[in-house]
Structures are given as structure tokens and as C-alpha cells.
Amino acid sequence: MGVVRLRKNFHQAKWDEPIIFEMSREGERGILVPSVDAEIERVAGDALSTIPENMRRKEKPNLPEVAQVRVLRHYLRLSQQTLGVDVNIDIGQGTCTMKYSPKINEMLVRSPKVTELHPYQPEETVQGALEIIYRLDHMLRALSGFSRFVFQPGGGSHALYTMASIIYKYHQVKGNDHKDEIITTLLSHPSDAATAKLKGFKVIDIPPDPETGLPDMEAFEAAVSERTAGMIICNPEDTEIFNPRIKEMTSLVHEVGGICAYDQANANGLLGYVRAIDLGFDLGFYNLHKTFSSPHGCGGPGLGAVGATKELESFLPVPVVDYDSSQDRYYLNYELPNTIGKVREFYGVFPVVQRAYSWLMSLGDEGVREVARIAILNNNYVMSRILKEVRGADISFPKTRYRVGQVRYSFKKLADETGVTVEDVIRRMTDFGFHLWTSHHPWIVPEPFTIEPTESYSKEDLDEYIEGLKTIAQEAYENPDKVKNAPYNGVIHRIEDMSFFEDPARWAPTWRVYLRKHRGEGVRK
């Protein structure tokens, strides 16, 4: 048995670090650019004079002047004031699959064989990169049953946009002008709705059944019509209740000629056990930066790999990577007749593709399933303990007892009984070195919080996190102000006035604006 101990003496690094502009000292240099050879100097002469006067920058940009070691120290300090997966038990950022990103995979993407590749190099010089893309495509085909994957989209939302674009183009090609509606569910990610809207569709949000938490089937059946262009949904949704009627839903949409697109952001607990194709989906994406272990990078670079059935393959963005066995050669194929074009320049975030490939290579069939098994085990263990031991915490839609890989909980009872809100708890969690998150909007579940333990944490890690929640909930009942005024041991204290971010006269999206609005200084030094 490992030791479980709440870090009551925790204190996050607190450097009281100035803004980089406040560190500026005239004359300091961070780095020098390569000097110009005498012969170039001679030939080029006053090269700037080749630029028309009206296009020459008159004053240098007002960037700070900071010596190298000071820049390094500044950013290292900022990094220490950030809680990544590498330094905390990051199970409180539900829906985001905060799993371990293996360091060997990181080391491998830092090779010049990756970083120093230009996308337009001749194909024969990038065979290794193309091979990795090709191999990962085939591995994702095996997991999903789809016929082809592309890697251009830079995140889950971008992948949703790509799928909405394919649905749009598909109906355009078919001449289905009447198909102008997309069905999604209120508990699917906000981007499922937002990206469909971007492609000009009317969006129908199916609410959850208040009892089961699953999409209201009556409302869904009523929503499906000849106007239905497609359905874009999560399954499980963020409540992580797997929808047993999902095949009925895809069938209904197919009956009216619609396309079914699968938001697989919550795929971690399903890996190897559920294939999109078996549920009736035509399109789907995997988040390589979540489910497939590529790190989240403070919000990217990510990658939403989009897969399609044989029927829709020709609509994918170009190029795709193919293999010519007669010449033993990988190549870029731009010849997809119905392609939506491009959603990003080139072929996607290659380092993310490579990390996902390495990760799958370290698992194989059994390992991939082990990921899902332990994600489910960890999640249900945490849920069982929270419901028994954390005062004031409830689960959403309690009728469904077991969940896949995460749970949306509620602190409504805690808030009602103590006045301490979930936002207060979140700030107090900081004092023990933890991070906790609410849910996407709208908050269908009141005072929500979402915990996704993934497969990356030990029982002792999970126990420590639960101990934190228990302690804070108890505090809320005994000394609510203690929780409300948190944090105490974090980097900073409570932000004084949140209206600072909403009022155009006061908001300060950049330092120069802050100086002008709040210090009465002009734009320039």
C-alpha cells in the first residue's frame, strides 16, 4: 500500500513575477542574429533603401530589452507557476483526458529528423514522416472501422468544423438543397453546435432526459426529418453515460439521407471496445492530444484526426498519404474528387501524429484495451468514493450508476447548505496543489464539476485527490469563509473584480492597453 497524504503544507511557486515589459532595460540583448558577410554587405549596400520610404518602419517596435538569462529565468518562473499533468494529479479537468504524455515520445519529436523538415521537400526525402502518417492512419482505421483518416485539423473543434464541412459538401454534391439542419445534443461539446452553425446549418439541440441523462429520444425522433443534413454528437456525452440507443439514432438519420458524425472526444474509455463504424457513424474524429497522449501544450498544438467511411472518403481535405507497393514509396495524394479543400496549410501537426504513433506502438491490441479498462475502473472507483465520502457532492442523473471514463458531479447540495459554490471549491483546491473544473456551458447540471481519472493515475493518486475534495467539503460546512476566500497557497489571490474583463472601458487585453487605461500612460515609452 502506498502512502496517501493530503499536502496540507503545499505552496505553489510564487515568484511575484513582473510582466516582461517591466523588466526592460535599455541596451540589454536576448540574442543576436547572424552577422552579414562582408561580400554580401558590399553587394547589398544599403539594402533597406530598396524598400519604399512609405513601407519602412520608422520607429522600432516597442518590445522590451531583456538579456538572455533574464528572459530564461522569467519564463522558467512562469512555467513553475503552471500546473501541468507532469506535476499534478490532473484528474479534475474532465472532458480533457489529462493523461501521461510519455517522455520518450517527446524526446523523439525533438529530433531534427522531425523539426527540420519542410512540408514541400521532395517526397523521397521525407519517406519516414510519410510512413508514420500512413501507419497511424491504418491504426486508427483498426480502432474505428473507418476507411481513411486525415490529420489536418488542429484540435477537436477544428475536426468538428471539418466534419460539418464534409456534411455541407456532401449534400451540395448530391443536390440536397433542402437539407439544412444538423441535430446535436445539449450535452455534446459546444463546438458540435457552433461549427454546424458556421457551415450555415440550423442547429437542433436535443436536451437530456431528466431521469436518464441520455438524449431525449422523443425529442430526437421529432427532430429528424427530410431537412436533416446530419447529426454531430458525442457518445458518451460529458456525463459519460454510454447511449444504448445510439444505433437507433444513427439509423433514423440514415433513413432520411443524413450523415452521422461522431465526436469521439470521450473515446478514452471505449478504446478497443467500441468502433464508430459498428454504431453506424459515417464520420468521426479522435483527439490525438487527449486520447492518444500527445500533451495539451496549454491549449495546443493539438490534432483532431478525422476518419470517414469509404462513401465519404473522397470528401476529406487533401492531401492524404498513400503507399505505392510497386515502388515501396509513400506519397501525398491530392486526388480526392469531392474534397472540401483544406482546413489548414500542409498536412497537420506532424509531431502530434508521431507522438500518437509512438504511444500506440507501446500498447498494441491488449495495451489499448488496458487503457480503456483502467480508465473505466479508475473512474468508477473515484465516483464510488466521492458519493460515499464527499459531503454535499452528488452525481448528475443518479439513475445510471456506472459511467465510462468520467463523471459530471454536482455541488448543488453543498452550495445550498453552505453557500460555498463550486467556483469557491475550485479556488480552494489550488491550496493543495490540485486543479478542478466545472463543465461546458450551459450548466445543465447545477454547480457542476467533472472528473476524468484516465488510466494514468495510481490508486494512491486518486485517493489523494479525493482526500482534497473531502477536506474542502468538510471545511465548507464548518468554516465556509475559509473556502470562499481561497486561495491562500497559490500563486495569486482572488481576483478583485471580475467585471474588469467585461467592461470595454476597463478591460485590458494587452499590456499597452493596461498602461493606457489603468496607469494613464501613452502607448509608447
Partner 1 sequence: MEERSIEKIGHPYIPNSHPAVQKEMLKEIGVASIDELIDKVIPRELQYRGPLNLPKPLLSEYELRRHVEGILSKNRTCGDYLCFLGGGTWPHYVPAICDEIASRGEFLTAYAGEPYEDHGRWQALFEYESLMAELLDMDVVSVPIYSWGHAAGTSLRMASRITGRKEVLVVDTISPERRRIIENYLEPHVKIRWLKHDPSSGFVDLEDLKNKISEKIAAVYFENPSYLGFIEPQGKEISDIAHEKGSLVVVGVDPSSLGILEPPSHYGADIVCGELQPLGNHMNFGGGLAGFVATRDEEKFVKEIPYRIFGIAHTVVPGEYGFGDVAFERTSFMVRETPGESKEFVGTATALWGIVAGVYLALMGPRGMRELGETIVKRVRYAIHKLSQLPGVKVPKFNAPHFKEFVVDFNSTGMKVKEINEKLLKKGIIGGIDLSKNFPELGEAALYCVTEIHTREDIDRLYESLAEILEVS
How does DSSP classify residue 36? P
Q: What is the largest CA-CA distance in the chain?
A: 81
- Asked whether 101 and 302 are in contact (CB, 8 A), the reply is no
Q: Exactly one of 20, 217, 219, 387 binds partner 1 (CB under 8 A); which one?
A: 20
**Which residues are CB-contacts of 167 (< 8 A; sequence separation ≥ 6)?**
182, 196, 199, 201, 229, 230, 232, 259, 261, 283
Candidates 289, 300, 340, 344; CA nearest to 316 is 340
Under rule CB under 8 A, which residues in 223-282 are in contact with partner 1?
A: 242, 244, 246-247, 269-270, 272-275, 278-279
328 lines the binding site for partner 1 (CB under 8 A): no
Under rule CB under 8 A, which residues in 115-154 are in contact with partner 1?
A: 115-122, 125-129, 131-132, 135, 139, 142-143, 154
Under rule CB under 8 A, which residues in 369-408 are in contact with partner 1?
A: 370-374, 376-378, 380-381, 384-385, 401-404
Detail the DSSP E strand segments found in 228-314.
228-234, 259-263, 283-287, 304-308
Q: Exactly one of 146, 168, 292, 409 binds partner 1 (CB under 8 A); which one?
A: 168
44 lines the binding site for partner 1 (CB under 8 A): yes
411 lines the binding site for partner 1 (CB under 8 A): no
| Total residues in contact with partner 1, by rule CB under 8 A | 217
365 lines the binding site for partner 1 (CB under 8 A): yes
- Asked whether 294 and 303 are in contact (CB, 8 A), the reply is yes
Under rule CB under 8 A, which residues in 469-498 are in contact with partner 1?
A: 487, 490-498
Candidates 451, 453, 450, 449; CA nearest to 375 is 453
Q: Which residues of 363-373 are buried (b: 16+ CB within 10 A; e: fewer)?
A: beeeebeebbb
3-state secondary structure of 402: coil
Handedness of CA 356, 358, 364, 369 (dihedral sign): negative
Contact region with partner 1 (CB under 8 A), list: 219-227, 350-358, 413-421, 472-480:
350-358
Binding string, residues 177-196; x marks residues near partner 1 by CB under 8 A: -------------xx-xxxx
- Asked whether 272 and 265 are in contact (CB, 8 A), the reply is no
217 lines the binding site for partner 1 (CB under 8 A): no
Omega before 319 cis (within 30°)? yes
Q: Exactly one of 4, 176, 203, 227 binds partner 1 (CB under 8 A); which one?
A: 203
In terms of Cβ atoms closer than 10 Å to its own Cβ (0-12, 13-18, 19+), residue 320 is buried
Q: Exactly one of 5, 8, 11, 63 binds partner 1 (CB under 8 A); which one?
A: 63
Binding string, residues 432-471; x marks residues near partner 1 by CB under 8 A: -xxx-x--xxx------------xxxxx-x----------
93 lines the binding site for partner 1 (CB under 8 A): yes
**In the complex with partner 1, which residue's Cβ is closer, 235 or 418?**
235
Detail the DSSP E strand segments found in 186-298.
202-206, 228-234, 259-263, 283-287
Q: Exactly one of 100, 323, 331, 477 binds partner 1 (CB under 8 A); which one?
A: 100
User: Shortest gap between Cβ of 412 and partner 1 (angstroms)?
Assistant: 20
Under rule CB under 8 A, which residues in 280-309 are in contact with partner 1?
A: 287, 289, 293, 295-302
3 lines the binding site for partner 1 (CB under 8 A): no
User: Shortest gap between Cβ of 33 and partner 1 (angstroms)?
Assistant: 5
Q: Exactly one of 9, 325, 326, 510 binds partner 1 (CB under 8 A); which one?
A: 510
